Amino acid sequence: MDRIPILKMGNLLLVSIQVDLQDQLALALQDDLSERIVQTGARGVLIDISALEIVDSFIGRMLSTIASLSRLLDAETVVVGMRPAVAITLVELGLHMPGVRTALTLEHGLALLGAEVRVRLPEDESFDDLDADLTEAADPGASPGQAVSGRAPTGRPAPAEGAWTG
């Protein structure tokens, strides 16, 4: 059977679901992910569902389970790219996904993980510097004298952009 590929990026795992999910495939992903988390010592999991045209209760439950499993294994999960029509349908369906954190885009998801987990890329030698950036990022008050016209180097993008796109 086909499997959904899991990519490793530093201490992150990246999953992009591009196919119409059969239930078995969803269950296999659940198993594969928890194994890979342990194997790689990953601290964060990003699941991109922007290609999914629907999320029904089964897939919703899979996402919840993955979030719970990975938390037990000391990794945070962020689901990114949920389509508006899917979100509206899930609300109507009455499906809650407790423990599942979501972000609009992959970038937002990375920033969210960056603020929570000390994410690092393999080529990133100066882990200490990144660490310092992240500490600053987590504390908006720490940035001095930012007027409203400027973008503060805090919150989501600043440290992450430097670390990920550089």
Partner 1 sequence: MDVGHGDDWVGPLSAERDGVLTRWIGLVGKVLRSRLSEAELARELGDLYTALLGGLREGGTDLDSESFGELRALLAELSGTRARQGFTPRETAITVFALKGAVAPVFEERDAAYHEYTRFSDFIDELGLFTFETYAQARDAVIVEQSDQLLELSTPVIKLWDGVLAVPLVGTLDSARTQVVMEKLLEALVETGSRHAIIDITGVPAVDTQVAQHLLKTVMAGQLMGADCIISGIRPQIAQTVVSLGIEFGDIITKATLAEALALALRRDGFQLRRTNTAGGR
Partner 2 sequence: MSAARWAGGPAGGEVTVEQTERHPITTEADVVRVRQVVRGLAVTAKMSLVDQTKVVTAASELARNTLVYGGGGSMTVDIVHSGRRRGLRAVFVDSGPGIPDLDLALTDGWTSGSGLGLGLSGSRRLVDDFAIESSPGAGTTVRVVKWSR
- If the CB atoms of residues 41 and 162 are measured against partner 1, the closer one turns out to be 162
- Smallest distance from partner 1 to CB 160, Å: 13
Residue 143 binds to partner 1 (criterion: CB under 8 A)? yes
* CA distances for 106 relative to 1, 49, 71, 73, 77, angstroms: 28, 10, 20, 22, 12
- If the CB atoms of residues 24 and 105 are measured against partner 2, the closer one turns out to be 24
- If the CB atoms of residues 27 and 97 are measured against partner 1, the closer one turns out to be 97
Residue 151 binds to partner 1 (criterion: CB under 8 A)? yes
DSSP letter string, 32-95: HHHHHHHHHT-SEEEEE-TT-S---HHHHHHHHHHHHHHHHTT-EEEEE---HHHHHHHHHHT-
Q: How many residues of this chain interact with partner 1, rule: CB under 8 A?
A: 35
* Segment holding 162, helix H or strand E: helix 157-165
Per-residue DSSP letter, 141: G
**Contact letters for partner 1, residues 69-108 (x by CB under 8 A):** ---------xxx-xxxx-xx-xxx----x---xxxxx-xx
Q: Please list the helix, strand and coil fractions of the chain in percent, rounded to the nearest 5, in that order.
A: 50, 15, 40
Residue 33 binds to partner 1 (criterion: CB under 8 A)? no
Q: Could you list the residues that contact partner 1 (CB under 8 A)?
A: 78-80, 82-85, 87-88, 90-92, 97, 101-105, 107-109, 112, 137, 140-141, 143, 145-148, 151-152, 154-156
